[in-house]
Structure 1
Amino acid sequence: MYKQYCYSCKLPVCAKCKNHRQHAILNIKTEYKTNREQHRDILHKIRSEALYSNRFLLADIKTDFKTCQTEIFNHQLKISTKAEGLKNRIDTVMCDVKVRMRYKSFMINHGLQQRKRILASIEKYEYRYEQSANRAVKLLFFIKNIFVPKIKEALHITQNALLSLTDEIRKDDVIEILSKIQITEKGKRQARNECPLELLSTPELLKTFRLKTFGCVTNMSCLNSDQSWISVKQNYFTLLSLTNTEVETLHHMTCKTDYSTIVLYGTHTVNNEGELIYINTDNDIYKLSPENSTKSTLIIETYAWEPLCVYSSPVNGNLLVGMFNYDKKTSKVNRYDNTVQHIQTIEHDNKDQQLYKIPRYITENRNGDVIVSDLNQVVVINHRGIHRFSYTGRVSGDRLDPCGICTDALSHILVCDYITRTIQMIDKDGHFLSHILTREQGIERPLSLSYDKKTHLLWVGSWNNNTVCVYRYINIIGRETGTCN
């Protein structure tokens, strides 16, 4: 059995092999795990995106092929009709040209004969009256009133025949006929943006695993189908670790420390590049590279304002930060662009009233709405910072204690309610839809949420039992419900 791996030759080798002694020798299990992690994202993308999208693309291509056959036949019929009409028109014009050319030839011959007769008459008049001075006046009168009009009439007939030939067929008419046959350039075929998704009648529990660190699972940020950054709070400090569904800790650190054991926050997020963005123990915001090797500072805590929660927008890469001022007892949400330049502050509503009490968790919906899990309410504002609504429960008078919050591909808002110990689903306009997860689905005290937009799986963290559950409540139409890979 091979227990070693030659890095230079890219081959497994045994311990007694002498050909690779001068090469870099690695442990084969370690190298296998490293290569598996490197190719995990590629395999997941192929399985969840490429293979799935190709099925729908193939169906669309078959439909388009049938449609194109019909359209091509219709275009061929139209072209044949137009060509036949154009041919008939050209034949008619050519026939008219021949007739008019014959008429022109006839008129020319007729004009020549007439000219000959006129000349003969002139010669006759000239011969008869050239000897008489008095008769010369009659000669000029004859030339003016008889000869000249006859010549003009002959020329006018010839000119009209030529003009009628050019008026019969015009370039604009031909262009108008041919321009009705249009060819539209087609772009590269892509899968539709609208995913064919539907809600399951009952959410399906795919996997449950217990973390090695005991405490409250306060926040989760999915990295891929089976890896997530998970923060677990123990008394006054929070341990942040990159964990897979096999409960293997791939990386860990200590993040934001809070001296309250009750109030919990969404202290980290993952951006489109797979980088972890988190609030450190010094209340500065840091970014960790996908290889977990390089750490850089994004935002240094501003005076008197302490960051409580962060979220990276998958749409434009903006960073949303919920902040609290302990001196003034006020809260706000700041928006930063890709270069970490401050571009927006969301603090008051249209009546200049404070929007937030203490922003715990923050997320963004597909329509650009910024959604904050606040004390006793869920506050929703649009991308311009205008307050849309505040959700305080399914009916008027209900109490709500929102914790973890997220949105899905159908623009639903999911929020953990600590009072009812359920996960409530509301639509993008704040209307209650259902209790999507309750104790009947195996949830005791849901505390944190993370929605994987690639697999449409919902990760749920619990209070005081270091348990994470993975559910499927959205199904892709045309694909049977699968299992957590």
Structure 2
Amino acid sequence: ILREIRDMCLKSIVNLVKSLCVSIVLGTIKMLQFLLSIKAARPPKIHLHNNQPAMIESRNKKKVKESPSIIQHKERGNRCIANDTVLELMSSPDLLYYRKLTTVDGCYHISCLTSNQVWVSDGHNLILTNTKGFPLHYVKNLCSDLSNGLHTVNNEGELIYIDKDKNINKLSTDMKTITKFIKRTNSRWKPQCVYLSPFTGDLLVGMYREKPRTGKVTRYNQSGQETQTIQHYNTGRGLYSDPIYITENKNLDVVVSDNNRAVVVTERGGRHRFSYTGHPSGSGLWPCGICTDTLSHILVCDGYSNTLQMIDKDGQFLSNLLINSKKMGEPFSLSYDVNTHRLWVGSWDSKLCVFKYITRQGDLTDENTQPPLRDALSSSTQASEFAWDFMLTDEPFHYTLDREDIL
């Protein structure tokens, strides 16, 4: 009889514990939903430009399919080919990660290596850091008289950078072997920015000449041989004054931040397509860091307004993607991760942020995210991101939370 009474008591205790656990989980979910409603009622710190209809129209038009034959990315030598899924813009960007770096004096250029490792330079130093802010490797012979787009990463994960002698070097993935990829042979022309195209494997180099002041873009193949020079309009007038950042769009347009106050875009063959001078047109632009995304948008940091502007592949202004962000500060450099569709943003004052602004249609989760229940509840609030990360994951993003983000 005592044994039966003991078993009944134990069973009652187990059932009681189970009921308490269920109540705690349900209560936590309700709490998070309440936090969401509070956050939604307050003005967001990171929001879209007032020209929201243009953004919504773009969202409806810019749904595209990723082509496995084009969108490729390697993390530490492992090829990751994107699934054949439809992507679209989110209604507003999410801040996934924020850190103030102490190992550099400004994030003047960044090159994403993996989903949690990025190369950062400040005009004097070039380091590989992770999302926790720990330096993993230093490059000592970086070109030290420029704060431009001095480095890029190829499909194998190798770093390509401009050294102090204005040669273009390649650092192997073992972080030990440095080879001279392109030797500077003309002292009049100075390489200022580089970009390795994930689509063609070509290296694009923006160059500058002092007298007469002019610029050009030179294309090199994977063997380091020069295959193309982009320098003039059809009329013979120079396209560039001072190219400081360079990238390539998915349609193979060459996109340059020219220090002559314009984003200059040419087609693959070198013909000028358009020049973007700000919104509204001609209002003034100081283009700094630049990148393109899987939807063929062009994103550029404007040093005048301290905004991150988004235009379409034809030069039409869509939105100030990020404005009024205390976290981001003054955006200066950009890098788009084609593997996770996340945007890395570096600022003048050494702040490094990661944003998510593109999602897969009909799919609540993507790589490196958590189960659907978490995504359904989290939306863009930092409070819910923090709470769910605390309970469910050790993912390196989302762990810096200030009181201002909740309030």
| Common topology (TM > 0.5) | yes
Q: Give the Cα separation in 2 of the matches to 1:458 and 1:294.
A: 29
Q: Give the Cα separation in 2 of the matches to 1:372 and 1:43.
A: 29
Decide which of 336, 342, 354 is 1:470's aligned counterpart: 354
The aligned runs of 1:130-209 (5 Å cut-off) are 191-192=83-84, 195-209=85-99
- 1:438 equivalent in structure 2: 323
The aligned runs of 1:269-418 (5 Å cut-off) are 269-303=152-186, 304-375=188-259, 376-418=261-303
Q: Which has the larger radius of gyration?
A: 1
Q: Does 1:215 align with 2:215?
A: no
SS at match of 1:205: strand
Query: How far is the alpha carbon of 1:224 from its aligned partner?
Result: 0.8
Q: Give the Cα separation in 1 of the matches to 2:90 and 2:106.
A: 28
- Which amino acid in 1 is paired with 2:248? E
Unaligned runs of 5+ in 1: 1-39, 54-190
- 2:11 equivalent in structure 1: none
After superposition, the Cα gap between the structure-2 partners of 1:400 and 1:255, relative to the gap in structure 1 and judged at 3 Å, is: farther
- 1:250 equivalent in structure 2: 136
Q: Does 1:241 align with 2:241?
A: no
Query: How far is the alpha carbon of 1:302 from its aligned partner?
Result: 2.5
SS at match of 1:290: coil
Q: Give the Cα separation in 2 of the matches to 1:43 and 1:343.
A: 27
Query: How far is the alpha carbon of 1:257 from its aligned partner?
Result: 3.6
Query: How far is the alpha carbon of 1:441 from its aligned partner?
Result: 6.9
Q: Give the Cα separation in 2 of the matches to 1:221 and 1:276.
A: 9
Q: Give the Cα separation in 1 of the matches to 2:263 and 2:197.
A: 18
Q: Give the Cα separation in 1 of the matches to 2:275 and 2:301.
A: 15
Query: How far is the alpha carbon of 1:420 from its aligned partner?
Result: 0.6
| Bigger helix fraction | 1
The answer to whether the 8 Å contact 1:422/1:443 transfers is: no
Q: Deviations over 1:77-130 (max 9, x none)?
A: xxxxxxxxxxxxxxxxxxxxxxxxxxxxxxxxxxxxxxxxxxxxxxxxxxxxxx
After superposition, the Cα gap between the structure-2 partners of 1:452 and 1:204, relative to the gap in structure 1 and judged at 3 Å, is: same
Query: How far is the alpha carbon of 1:454 from its aligned partner?
Result: 0.2
Query: How far is the alpha carbon of 1:327 from its aligned partner?
Result: 3.0
Q: Give the Cα separation in 1 of the matches to 2:150 and 2:165.
A: 12
After superposition, the Cα gap between the structure-2 partners of 1:345 and 1:462, relative to the gap in structure 1 and judged at 3 Å, is: same
Unaligned runs of 5+ in 2: 1-73, 371-394, 397-407
CA RMSD of aligned residues (A): 2.1
After superposition, the Cα gap between the structure-2 partners of 1:435 and 1:44, relative to the gap in structure 1 and judged at 3 Å, is: farther
The answer to whether the 8 Å contact 2:76/2:156 transfers is: no
| Bigger strand fraction | 2
TM-score (norm: length of structure 1): 0.58
Q: Give the Cα separation in 1 of the matches to 2:94 and 2:351.
A: 17
Query: How far is the alpha carbon of 1:42 from its aligned partner?
Result: 7.9
The answer to whether the 8 Å contact 1:266/1:360 transfers is: yes
The answer to whether the 8 Å contact 1:438/1:444 transfers is: no
After superposition, the Cα gap between the structure-2 partners of 1:325 and 1:389, relative to the gap in structure 1 and judged at 3 Å, is: same
Decide which of 137, 143, 149 is 1:266's aligned counterpart: 149
Q: Give the Cα separation in 2 of the matches to 1:275 and 1:252.
A: 14
The answer to whether the 8 Å contact 2:112/2:337 transfers is: yes
Query: How far is the alpha carbon of 1:404 from its aligned partner?
Result: 0.1
- Which amino acid in 2 is paired with 1:453? V
TM-score (norm: length of structure 2): 0.69
Q: Give the Cα separation in 2 of the matches to 1:257 and 1:433.
A: 35
Query: How far is the alpha carbon of 1:312 from its aligned partner?
Result: 0.3
Q: Deviations over 1:258-277 (max 9, x none)?
A: 547xxx31000000111100
The answer to whether the 8 Å contact 1:205/1:472 transfers is: yes
Q: Give the Cα separation in 2 of the matches to 1:276 and 1:292.
A: 9
Q: Deviations over 1:316-366 (max 9, x none)?
A: 110000011123322110000111111100000111111001001000000
After superposition, the Cα gap between the structure-2 partners of 1:307 and 1:44, relative to the gap in structure 1 and judged at 3 Å, is: closer
The share of aligned pairs that are identical, in percent, is: 49
Query: How far is the alpha carbon of 1:219 from its aligned partner?
Result: 0.7
SS at match of 1:415: strand
Query: How far is the alpha carbon of 1:478 from its aligned partner?
Result: 3.0
Compare relative contact order (CA 8 Å, sep 6+) and give the higher one, 1 or 2.
Answer: 2
The aligned runs of 1:19-98 (5 Å cut-off) are 41=75
Size of the alignment, in residue pairs?
294
Query: How far is the alpha carbon of 1:480 from its aligned partner?
Result: 2.4
